Amino acid sequence: MKQLLLTLALAFSLHSFAILTPIVDSIPMSDGKKLACDIYIPSGMSSGPVILVQTPYNRLLYRANALPLGVNGNINSSNYIFVIVDWRGFYGSAHAATPSPPAQGLDGYYVVEWIASQTWSNGKIGTAGASALGKIQLQTAKYNPPHLTCINPSVAAPQFSFYEYYPNGDLRTEYLDKLDELGFGLKPAVMNNQVYNGAWQVTENTNFYPDSIRVPCFMIGGWYDHNIKDMLEFFPAIVQRSPAGIRSQHRLLMGPWAHGGHSTAHVGTAAQGQLTYANAAGWNDSLALLYFDYYLRGQSNGWDQSPVVQYYQMGEDTWQQSPVWPPAGPVVTDFYMHSDGVLDNSAPTAATDSISYGYDPTDPSPTYGGPTLRSDLAQGPYDQSDTVESRHDIAIFSTPVLTQDVVLRGNAVIHLKVSSDRHDTDFEVRLTDVYPDGRSMILNHAPFRMRFRNGNTAADTSGIVSGQVYDATMTVPYTCNTFLTGHRIRIDVTSSNYPAFNRNMNTDGAMYPANSLDTLVNPLVATNTVYTNSANASYVELPLVNYTTPNSISTVNYDQIHIYPNPAANEIHITAPEIVDAVYLYDIAGALVVSQSSQTNTISTAGLAEGMYCLRAVYGGNTVNCKVTIAR
């Protein structure tokens, strides 16, 4: 009934505003059922190449001047015929639903071959579309229809994996919720398999088939998309394992884009969240048209000589190229977390340092931006400073203000040493780029559920012992970002990121009572601790390009430099054997609160709140770091 009402409302809207009037037809499937389709043929074209879009989101939407690849309503100026087909069981093809429907890729096979048999088709057929519309392209290619020429899946990969739904054991609440709302019906299967088991193993093996992709594939992805991990695993696999004759024909484009599907941010738009990437606008459509022109129209446009990989380096806002994925060059560099909130290259020397915070499941740290899907959530790069970092339930670790551009290209891996006073809890990390004006723009995030610390099978899971120190390692999805001079790199550590991930009740009981995505049954407040000392060091591995480690941060040596009084009330004085060039003072959250040349070697602290701070003094090519306390 809900789908019927939506269809009626849409039909009324299109009747009022539609410009495009397609040929309406239906395509017979192997079981005798038919799929509804709209056919758009440019005026004057008797036959030509076809671009096929298979959608579960209602083919009627394309009638409202919304044809893909930038064609919009200008079908008569296009070089392609477009065929838009409703999936079996969805919208115009709802009548084709069966209790056990054939594989979607098999339906795709029959759609492609039906198109090839039509008088208006010249037999050259490519496919296009994003998300679910991209996944079905790969599923169709798996069945190798003879007339399928090339495919162009965006923000999509064919995998169905345990990690996709339970990364490090923590359910992606909003993701599964949105998929269920869209009518995919995955919730029962996902919620009935909350640990890695034989069902997941079979599913993963069945849906990873790079050797079955026998046509050129141009994959398009975005750094703020939730499919990054699967896409960037599947692309190198097809380059290595698809038939030898086409391996060199696959291409990958990675831009600064969110998944899209709601709001104004889509693959290819300049505006993404709270940032704008003007240099990336429209690249997806422009390159896709070159791709289709080469394979479907036989144009000698140089596509065969195009880079195998093109990717957008955010921050510096440039397009880069590589002959392989992943690109060569990054070297892993360790950045250590310190109890004063500093993140730097020096290992901690203190024996007992740590940071603790409370986590209340009834008041979770909120999801704000990042690779989300649900339409009521912000998607893409958003400032975490007010919504997330101003809360009490967080540990924040920031580098000093960068004196060089730091080029990150790859997966940040966060190694935490942690404990809790409960028998289960979560740790969640967000990687952000902190701008000089204080904005902390999220790049991506990752969760970790403690009961899964030893693995994801039922046999692996166990509760934790209160106060015992454990490892929690999280891999942040691949990104390419240059942290510019004057910016800072930041890691936010919380114990929730809701509703992106299920909020842990801090018990070792059932995680999802009655298979609910979000039920709190007798939740407990936890005190969680991140360790930052010499015995239990927490750190992040960053894959950096041409990074020069700053001068080593030395422990304060009062034979060389004297910082007094400490604790201080309204002033801090510095004496050193050489002229002190600059002094920086950071609060415990890593925010720069004082920055000055040291002409008087005196820092005024009269306007600062009491508490612990990190002072950095630069002199004679050296950098000295020490803790200072303001107390009155």
Return d(Cα 21, Cα 64) in angstroms, integer. Answer: 9
Q: Which residue has the higher pLDDT, 624 or 239?
A: 239
Euclidean distance between CA atoms 619 and 455, whole angstroms: 48
Higher pLDDT, 499 or 101: 499
Mean pLDDT, all residues of the chain? 92
Give 32-49 pLDDT, tens digit per residue.
999 999 999 999 999 999
Indicate the residue type of 286: S
User: What is the predicted pLDDT for the residue at 225?
Assistant: 97
For residue 6, the model assigns a pLDDT of: 45
H helix intervals, 269-357: 283-296
Read off the pLDDT of each residue in 69-96 and give the average, rounded to a whole number: 97
518: which 2 tokens?
Answer: 């979000």
What is the predicted pLDDT for the residue at 551? 56
Q: What is the DSSP string of 446-511?
A: EEEEGGGTT-SSTTT-----TT--EEEEEEPPPEEEEE-TT-EEEEEEES--BTTSPPP-SSSS-S
Q: Residue 588: its pLDDT value, please?
A: 60
106-132 burial code (b ≥16 CB/10 A, e <16): bbbbbbbebbbebeebbebbbbbbbbb
Sequence-distant (≥ 6) Cβ neighbours of residue 262 within 8 angstroms:
375, 379
Q: What contacts 49, CB < 8 A, 6 or more positions away?
A: 79, 80, 81, 122, 124, 125, 126, 149, 292, 296, 297
Q: Tokens for 248?
A: 């060199």
Q: What is the mean pLDDT of residues 538-544?
A: 97
pLDDT tens-digit readout, 584-623: 787 765 567 888 875 667 888 888 888 777 777 777 656 6
Return the DSSP state at 59: G
pLDDT at residue 498, rounded to an integer: 98
pLDDT of residue 572: 87
Q: How far apart are CA 356 and CA 221, in angstroms?
A: 38
Average pLDDT, integer, range 164-172? 97
Strand partners, 611: 630
Q: What is the pLDDT of residue 584?
A: 79
- What is the mean pLDDT of the segment spanning 159-176? 97
Round to whole Å and give the CA distance between 487 and 471: 29
The answer, yes or no, to whether residue 372 has pLDDT greater than 50, is yes
Helix runs in 46-131, H state only: 104-116
When pLDDT is averaged across residues 324-328 and rounded to a whole number, the result is 94
**529: β partners:** 356, 419
| pLDDT tens figures, 406-457 | 999 999 999 999 999 999 999 999 999 999 999 999 999 999 999 999 999 9
- Of 304, 149, 322, give the one whose Cα is nearest residue 232: 322
* Residue 237 binned pLDDT confidence (cut-offs 50, 70, 90): very high
* pLDDT at res. 11: 45
What mean pLDDT do residues 86-115 have?
A: 94
pLDDT at 552 over 70: no
Domains and CATH numbers, the chain: 1-152 (3.40.50.1820), 334-545 (2.60.120.260), 553-630 (2.60.40.3080)
Of residues 553 and 247, the one with the higher pLDDT is 247
| Band of residue 553 on the pLDDT scale cut at 50, 70, 90 | very low
Residues 173, 176, 182, 184: what is their CA dihedral angle, to the nearest 10 degrees?
-160
Distance CA 417, CA 244 (A): 46
Q: How many CB atoms lie under 10 A from the CB of residue 226?
A: 23
Contacts of 511 (CB under 8 A, 6+ apart): 171, 194, 449, 502, 504, 505
pLDDT of 67 > 60? The answer is: yes
Lowest-confidence region among 264-268, 340-344, 501-505:
264-268
Pair of tokens at residue 4: 């019927």
Task: Give mean pLDDT, residues 623-631.
Answer: 74
Measured in whole angstroms, the distance separating CA 403 from the mean position of its chain's CA atoms is 28
What DSSP line would sit under 350-374, residue for residue? -SS-EEEEEE-TTSPPBP-SBS--S
What's the N-to-C CA distance of the chain in angstroms?
Answer: 68
**pLDDT at residue 18 above 70?**
no
What average pLDDT does range 303-329 have in this prediction?
A: 96
Place of tokens 């115009």: 92
